[in-house]
Amino acid sequence: MLDDISDDRATAATTGPPPNADRRLDITGQICPMTFVRTKLALETMAPGEVLEVRLRQGEPLDNVPRSVREMGHELLAIEAETAAAGIVRLWIRLKG
């Protein structure tokens, strides 16, 4: 998967296919703190148990978004680096409830 992710994020990385997403969000063009704000707003429109796929850049967004959604009580299901786009990562988050 990703060689440079922290142990906290690595625990969510899966080796199988990623989960099916109920909704997708691309925040690759955003900077912090808007990366988390946009993710939070998307999660607020979803039903408990639904899965959000978030496409973001490595670095600060990848450090902050997974940590923040876990602090909110949501489940980080998987993290996957995109092979077609350097520095882009996808996360799958299950809404708590």
User: Which residues are designated catalytic?
Assistant: 32
For 12, 20, 23, 58, the CA distances from 85, given in Å and listed in that order, are 21, 21, 21, 11
CA distance 54 to 38: 10
- How is residue 42 annotated by DSSP? H
